[in-house]
Structure 1
């Protein structure tokens, strides 16, 4: 069963609140903001080649190319919620996030250059 789509207005409100409140934002707000921006990424870069993980709030597969179906995916990007939201909204560039170690990327296709930001604010 597919997850329900997060409404654009509700998602944008959650992202703005999460960014404004930072670490003080409620877990529910941060979770909705992360899930909404992951949803946007999956819609804008359809496919199953890359798995983007933002524990503990969510993960999605995106990017056209070879499909991954079982076991550990060969192409993975993982980061925390604050870093993901900064990346997803354009406050952090992909290159800066990788260079600082805030983003962990493994695999040949583990690169979100040109795919982020998904919701420039």
Structure 2
């Protein structure tokens, strides 16, 4: 049997650098939007960091078009739509990943789709790279 190659560990320095590259836009929505490459890097690295922090397959976090990761220990889901899904757009994901927005507020405001009883468990793992409104960008 051929095994799947293990994904290399996420470098926290690289994650922080990718977030700092988009921080001005996260801190001020009137700032210029980052390049697609900068946005993709920040989204992918923060989502993969989440998966590394909480390995498992019971919750799927989707940030189209850039990434979908599975995380949180529990029942493995392999076919069709998983029962526990968090889905949002890149900017909202990055606001969550930096602690600039609260998951419950984002769900209540319709910015995040959350299904299944395990999905809210990611709130305990956020922020991944904390920023605050006073962070120099």
State the TM-score, normalized to the length of structure 1.
0.90
Runs (4 or more) in structure 1 with deviation over 6 Å come to: none
Structure 1 residue 13 displacement after superposition: 1.3
Aligned 8 A contact 2:97 2:128 in 1: yes
* Partner in structure 1 of residue 59 of structure 2: 50
Aligned 8 A contact 1:78 1:103 in 2: yes
User: How many residue pairs end up in the alignment?
Assistant: 121
* Alpha-carbon RMSD: 1.6
* Partner in structure 2 of residue 95 of structure 1: 104
* Partner in structure 2 of residue 11 of structure 1: 15
Aligned 8 A contact 2:85 2:115 in 1: yes
State the TM-score, normalized to the length of structure 2.
0.81
Q: How does 1:1-121 map to 2 (within 5 A)?
A: 1-3=5-7, 5-21=9-25, 24-111=33-120, 112-121=122-131
Aligned 8 A contact 1:19 1:85 in 2: no
Structure 2 residue runs of 5 or longer lacking an equivalent are 27-31, 132-137
Structure 1 residue 5 displacement after superposition: 4.7
> Which range is displaced more, 13-22 or 39-48?
13-22
Larger Rg: 2
Aligned 8 A contact 2:43 2:90 in 1: yes
Structure 1 residue runs of 5 or longer lacking an equivalent are none
